[in-house]
Structure 1
Amino acid sequence: MTVTAIAATPAAAPATREAARTRHSRGPGSASSGAASAVDRRRREALARLSARVMPLPGRPLYAAPAPAAAGRQADAAVPAARLPQPTLTDREVEVLRTWLMLDSKPAVAEALYISLGTVNTHLTRIRAKYAELGRPASTKAALVARAIQDDIVDIDEL
């Protein structure tokens, strides 16, 4: 068995190292500064668009974005916040809603308030209907939580 050794000449070694250095310097993390700055610029622009985006709350109309802070805070303080139309809930409906938001299930609400499950469902159906009449539908428990917080029926710290 014959083993042949391939010897690299001293002149070929620096050329090989230079080729390896050039090849590794063009990896994905070390793109040219123009390409990297373009990626950073696009990322900053996307984040700026996202932070400037105004999303409406469910059942709440989209409002104009607030004026920049440079416009002055005294002008903002002079304009009262627009009140959302609130349904006229009975005391019992408020009690059922608050209890349902605090407990895990409708049967637990029925047991806590000493009423039947059907009565709990009736109260919640009427509450949802009243919100829907005002153009603020609340078809889910999460939507009812949002309505209750917006209308000061429940405080977010209570949840």
Structure 2
Amino acid sequence: MLTPAPAGRRADLAPREKEVLLAWLLHDNKDDVARELEISTTTVRTHLQRIRDKYAAAGRPATTKAALVARAIQDGLIDVNDL
């Protein structure tokens, strides 16, 4: 069972990064995310890389989409029922 991350170990994601992360978790590809958020696919990739970098800096690496799902659940950004 996953436990919430201690407050000091959370990645400090900006509101837009959270928005991109949640959209990415609910879509099959970055192009769909880009269309929904009206940004370029390159911008989606940039946000996701920054999110991964922030998780790595917090000592909680998330190199795969599955790991990003786990981090989002741990941080209370999404519930497993939302997926």
Q: 1:97 to 1:82 in 2, by over 3 A?
A: closer
- Aligned counterpart, 2:42: 118
- Aligned counterpart, 2:75: 151
Cα distance in 1, alignment partners of residues 43 and 5 from structure 2? 34
Q: Which of 14, 37, 40 is equivalent to 1:90?
A: 14
Amino acid in the other structure paired with 1:151:
D
TM-score (norm 1): 0.48
Q: CA deviation at 1:137?
A: 0.4
TM-score (norm 2): 0.91
Q: Where in structure 2 are there 5+ consecutive unaligned residues?
A: none
Q: Where in structure 1 are there 5+ consecutive unaligned residues?
A: 1-56, 58-80
CA-based RMSD: 2.0
Structure showing greater Rg? 1
Amino acid in the other structure paired with 1:123:
H
Q: Which of 54, 71, 80 is equivalent to 1:130?
A: 54
Q: CA deviation at 1:82?
A: 7.0
User: How many residues matched?
Assistant: 82
